[in-house]
Amino acid sequence: MTLTSGSCAPASTAASSAADTRRFGASGGLCAIHQPNLFPRLSTLAKLYAADRWIVLDDVQFARRDYQHRARLAALDNPDRQQWLTLPSHLPYGRPTLINQVRLAEPRRSRRVVSLLIRQYYGHSRHWAAVREVLDAVLDEFGGGAGSVCDLAKTSSLAMLTVLGWGGEVSDSSSIPTSRGRSERLADLAMATGSSVYLCGAGGLRYLDHRPFAAHGIPVLPFHTPVDVDDRLWHWARRASALWALSEIGPTSLALRLAAEREAHLLKERA
């Protein structure tokens, strides 16, 4: 199913001023292709926010060491103190199980743990109302009888984007026919969605073959979040869930910071 910008309208009016500068619904635009992550890290959230559309890479092999079913929570007062939040998962086809086939092993217990841990870590934040919107969206997914780890992870990411005022488009890769090669498939996904630029994170750049994108006339734009250990926000961007950043500075300030990163990368594209 494809969610349009209308279905991702901002749930938080506080972030709408930052969202006004976005090119929502524009033809072409930036495309991010990324696996669904549970309460994603700030580095991942920043890439999704910078894109005009997110293609959820839901039909690749599930990896237990990745972030589809787990998130690292950083304590609000001391982000050095961190704890894994993990959803026990069942792989019906063993190791080859795809992300969209993974099921929750203990849905009731997982719902309770998610609620308790996030309230414990961020319930005292002055920006708790925004965090609670994200938490409620995920708990509602549990309440609907969800047994899909993929759906929960995608919901958590979309809820975080929504409170920041993001209004882009979302599609599942499993619904789009593509070539079999790794880079060829990504290029086909970008082309099929009408994207004019592929936004590629640091991990993808290590293996990406640019030639399939060039064949489609789609440039690859590298995306890197700042590596500034003196900036409290970005210091934890590649490790901790962005729930910490949302709790620390709130949706308005965080949306402005992410919008600035988007504009910085667009300037690189135009240069």
Q: How do residues 160-218 score in pLDDT, each as one tens digit?
A: 999 999 999 999 999 999 988 999 999 999 999 999 999 999 888 999 999 999 999 99
Percent of all residues in the chain with a pLDDT value above 90, rounded to a whole number: 80
| pLDDT computed for residue 71 by the predictor | 98
Whether 142 and 107 have beta carbons less than 8 Å apart is answered as yes
Whether 1 and 172 have beta carbons less than 8 Å apart is answered as yes
Residue 172 pairs with which residues in a beta bridge? Answer: 56
Q: How do residues 128-151 score in pLDDT, each as one tens digit?
A: 999 999 999 999 999 766 699 999
Amino acid at position 173, single letter: S
Query: For residue 9, is pLDDT > 60?
Result: no
Q: Can you read off the two tokens belonging to residue 58? A: 């839901």
3-state secondary structure of 241: strand
* Neighbouring C-beta atoms of residue 93, cutoff 10 Å: 11
Whether 62 and 150 have beta carbons less than 8 Å apart is answered as no
Q: Can you read off the two tokens belonging to residue 122? A: 């961020």
Residue 80 pairs with which residues in a beta bridge? Answer: none
Q: How do residues 211-268 score in pLDDT, each as one tens digit?
A: 999 999 999 999 999 886 688 899 999 999 999 999 999 999 999 999 999 999 998 7
Query: For residue 152, is pLDDT > 70?
Result: yes
Closest CA to 134 of 53, 242, 35: 242
Q: Please report, for residues 56, 71, 101, 134, 191, the alpha-carbon distance to residue 53 in angstroms, rounded to integers and kept in the order given.
A: 10, 23, 23, 20, 12
pTM above 0.85?
yes
Q: Can you read off the two tokens belonging to residue 39? A: 């309460």
Q: How do residues 63-81 score in pLDDT, each as one tens digit?
A: 999 999 999 999 999 999 9
3-state secondary structure of 172: strand
* Cβ contacts of 104 within 8 Å, gap of 6 or more: 87, 88, 89, 90, 110, 146, 147, 148, 149, 152
Q: Can you read off the two tokens belonging to residue 195? A: 């994207």
